Amino acid sequence: MADFLRDAGCDVTIAFYATRQHRPELCSSTLNSWFGARPKTRSETAFGGHRCIAVGCLDPYLEYNYSRPSELWRKLIDEHDVHIAIGGTTVIATPLVDAGVPHLVWCASDVEGDRTDRRKFMPFWRRFVDRVFITPRLLSQQLKVLSGPGRIMGVSPFTVRQLTQASGRTEDGFGVLPIPVDTEFFSPGHQSLGSIAIGFAGRLDDPRKNPRLLFETLAILRSRGIDASLRVTGENSPSLDRMAREIGISDLVEFVGVLERNSLREFYRSLRVFIIPSFQEGLAIVGLESMACGIPVVSTRCGGPEAYVLDGENGFLSGFDSETMGAHVCRLLEDEALREKFSVAAREWVVENYSDAVFAEKFRVIEPSVGWRRPAIQSLNES
């Protein structure tokens, strides 16, 4: 979105909350505030050369404080003319609602959907704190945003259904704005069929990604005589390593590290099948990128991917058991003609529905409702 607006002639600032884990010096506790400590902001350049502002908060160990209104947020809001809140959930827009300014919200999930699976893997004491203190306040922020002056867009029809249930409103009150894919960059390349690699891209150490299903699927393939290996972006972790050893596939899993853009494209191209094993995904952009590279996707019925993985046409949708997912992956690996058919169909679907040009057209439809006031925005209508 920031690149799109910059290309349209806008002066873009990306403001984001500073987490306690990554920028603790910008946050403060109530106790420290008694001795004069205050949350702070810091200017940075990131995300492809954009001007960025990291915004600290008071008591960051209570997660809802990141998105609470504050003087720091109000000052930033007052300094800018147009406001777009982009995040996993709608709560990121809470300071905008408090300020009463027109804005666009673009999100992937409702609060409860975002936290349910995450909570399952928390220690008991954290589950208690989350249920009693954190999630209720996040739900309150969500309700405030859903009732506010913003135009709310989900990244998929699944997201819209979740927000509809959370708000009690009809789906007419929301819209779908899918995340676009650079289909000129993410494109098919020469693929050697010498090795059989299946793959996944994302934070596999996030329990919501369901790493056990991914590992068990590889074990199913091996038990059926398919000489397959698994390639995963990111880094291994002690918990993932223990799980892989328990399932008996640790020597068949390659963690390729955090990849820059060119390497990520080559990663997709190196695969025969891309797997999404998640419990829930608002969209899963990695699935679209792999399909743009001509790699068929086998995904659980986890929400977002159901909008672009057309079961039996360009990929397969699966239940959450390894036998079913393994059977789908086996079918693609054992029938090269079918895999090639799905490869072509996957690429075509992404180009027709998720390209930058499609995104630009969809954005122009919703753009007047955001409250544009800068003359530079007129280029959106002229281009």
Three-state SS for 141-172 is HHHHHHCCCCEEEECCHHHHHHHHHHHCCCHH
Quick one: pLDDT at residue 382?
A: 32
**Domain residues for 322?**
196-354
| Whether 218 and 344 share a structural domain | yes
Quick one: pLDDT at residue 371?
A: 55
Q: Which residues contact 381 (CB under 8 A, 6 or more apart)?
A: 364, 367
| Whether 62 and 117 share a structural domain | yes
| Whether 151 and 214 share a structural domain | no
Using DSSP's 3-state secondary structure scheme, residue 84 falls into: strand
d(CA 340, CA 332): 9
| Whether 114 and 150 share a structural domain | yes
Using DSSP's 3-state secondary structure scheme, residue 299 falls into: strand
Q: Is 142 exposed, middle or buried (0-12, 13-18, 19+ CB in 10 A)?
A: buried
Residue 187: inside a domain: no
| Whether 348 and 360 share a structural domain | no
Residue 188: inside a domain: no
Query: How is residue 3 annotated by DSSP?
Result: H
pLDDT in single tens digits along all 383 residues of the chain: 999 999 888 899 999 999 998 999 999 999 888 888 899 999 999 988 999 999 999 999 999 999 999 999 999 999 998 899 999 999 999 999 999 999 999 999 999 988 887 888 888 888 899 999 999 999 999 999 999 888 899 999 999 999 999 888 877 789 999 999 999 999 998 766 668 999 999 999 888 899 999 999 999 999 999 999 999 999 999 999 999 999 999 999 999 999 999 999 999 999 999 999 999 999 999 999 999 999 999 999 999 999 999 999 999 999 999 999 999 999 999 999 999 999 999 999 999 999 999 999 888 877 655 554 433 333 333 32
Query: How is residue 376 annotated by DSSP?
Result: G
The structure tokens listed for 11 are: 């002066």
In this prediction the pTM is 0.87
The structure tokens listed for 334 are: 């054992």
| CATH number of the domain bearing residue 266 | 3.40.50.2000
Residue 189: inside a domain: no
Q: In what order do the strands lie in the sheet with 50-55?
A: 13-17, 50-55, 41-46
The structure tokens listed for 62 are: 């209570």
**Radius of gyration over every alpha carbon of the chain, rounded to an integer in angstroms:** 22
| Whether 218 and 345 share a structural domain | yes
d(CA 80, CA 77): 6
Q: Is 143 exposed, middle or buried (0-12, 13-18, 19+ CB in 10 A)?
A: middle
| Whether 101 and 20 share a structural domain | yes
| Whether 304 and 329 share a structural domain | yes
Q: Identify the bridge partners of residue 85 per DSSP, sorted by sequence position.
A: 105
The answer to whether 217 touches 329, Cβ cutoff 8 Å, is: yes
The structure tokens listed for 295 are: 């790699």
Candidates 225, 213, 197; CA nearest to 323 is 213
| Whether 307 and 334 share a structural domain | yes
Based on the structure, what is the number of domains in the chain? 2
| Whether 17 and 161 share a structural domain | yes
Residue 381: inside a domain: no
The structure tokens listed for 139 are: 């739900």
The answer to whether 43 touches 53, Cβ cutoff 8 Å, is: yes
| Whether 40 and 163 share a structural domain | yes
Residue 191: inside a domain: no
Quick one: pLDDT at residue 380?
A: 34
Residue 253: inside a domain: yes
The structure tokens listed for 344 are: 């072509």
Phi, psi of 257 (to 5 degrees): 85, 180
The structure tokens listed for 215 are: 């590992």
Which contiguous run of DSSP H or E holds residue 13? strand 13-17
| Whether 112 and 246 share a structural domain | no
The structure tokens listed for 117 are: 């699976």
In the block, tokens 């945003």 appear at 145
Residue 186: inside a domain: no
Other Cβ atoms within 10 Å of 234 Cβ, number: 18
Residue 86: inside a domain: yes
